Amino acid sequence: MRLRSTAPRRAAGLLAATVLTASALAGCASTADTAADPAASPTAGETAKDCAAKATLTAPGKLTVGTDSPAYEPWFSDDDPTNGKGFESAVAYAVADRLGFAEDAVSWTKVRFNTSYAPGAKPFDFDINQISITPARQKAVDFSDGYYAAAQAVIALKGSKAASITSLADLKDLRLGAQTGTTSLTAIRDGIQPTTEASVFQDTNAAKQALQNGQVDAILADLPTAFYITAVEIPKGTIVGQFQPTTGQQEEFGLLAAKGSSLTPCLDLALAELKADGTLAGLEKQWLSDVVDVPVLQ
């Protein structure tokens, strides 16, 4: 998905997470639209660091990571991906460490969300930006295994008609909106299928303003972002409920790499190591806070 948030970071306790979680353009570009280098494929018992040592990188000796700008809470802190604060910044550095890169060997580059999963060469080794793994996107780029499973959340204004809904069917007659290019927008169009065409916004600021102006009845975002929006940015807002957009499946965010990147299997190994020793779960708890009771819409 992602519908983003812009206010300064508040205490992590305000950022409750989902009940359903599983947990410059610069210089030359990395691999793209080519078959992965067989020599870089991991062997049995190989570590993520061993695998990465054989991979082709955007800049030799450096790990180049992409994300959008501004970089929003709670995924990043203080609009600074380089500080290691915020869930995705912390995950990026944890992955880098498992790949054998120290913090000073990690370089960040700005990549617009809508262009990250477009076909073609990439100015990064991997991108981390709340990018949902979808079959359509997998035709153009590689994804790692998921590092976070996100529910969609419905945000409305307290006291409004939308704030009293109790099921997905109740959403059909509402005016709904979401950021362009997101799975929240897809969830509205393909899942909820409202009687009124969904409003499409270029960014989160426009979506939030439309909600406050009464131009839409509700907007959709991933659940952690929805908590931040309602706790900090729109105090009169409320999270009506949460749902998974595909029946029986969880929507997962993945690290994105160029199609055929030799680093992709190494990213899977790094995430597997972080899951096995509890690091990933610890980062989720630290930056996205503890589980809370949000109604599940069915």
The whole-number average pLDDT for the span 174-194 is 92
Q: What is the DSSP string of 30-98?
A: B--SS---GGGS--TT--HHHHHTTS--SSTT-EEEEE-SS--TTTSSTT-GGG--SHHHHHHHHHHHH
Residues 23 and 122 occupy one common structural domain = yes
**Domain CATH number, residue 166:** 3.40.190.10
Residues 128 and 255 occupy one common structural domain = yes
Please enumerate, as own/partner, the contacts of 173-177 that have beta carbons within 8 Å and a separation of 24 or more: 174/217, 174/218, 175/199, 175/215, 175/216, 175/217, 175/218, 176/216, 176/217, 176/218, 176/219, 176/220, 177/201, 177/207, 177/210, 177/211, 177/215, 177/216, 177/218, 177/219, 177/220
Residues 17 and 96 occupy one common structural domain = yes
Give the domain range for residue 54: 12-34+47-150+250-288
In this structure, is residue 7 part of a structural domain?
A: no
Q: What is the pLDDT of residue 222?
A: 87
pLDDT at 5 over 80: no
* pTM across the whole model: 0.71
Residue range 119-152, pLDDT digits in tens: 999 999 999 999 989 999 999 999 999 999 888 9
Contact at 8 Å (CB) between 2 and 225?
yes
The whole-number average pLDDT for the span 8-19 is 36
Residue range 54-71, pLDDT digits in tens: 999 999 999 999 999 988
Residues 73 and 91 occupy one common structural domain = yes
Residue range 29-56, pLDDT digits in tens: 333 344 444 445 667 789 999 999 999 9
**248 confidence band (pLDDT: 50, 70, 90):** very low
The whole-number average pLDDT for the span 234-243 is 94
**246 confidence band (pLDDT: 50, 70, 90):** low
The whole-number average pLDDT for the span 277-298 is 85
Q: What is the pLDDT of residue 8?
A: 35
Domain count, the chain: 2
H or E stretch at 152: strand 152-157
Residues 199 and 144 occupy one common structural domain = no
Residues 82 and 71 occupy one common structural domain = yes
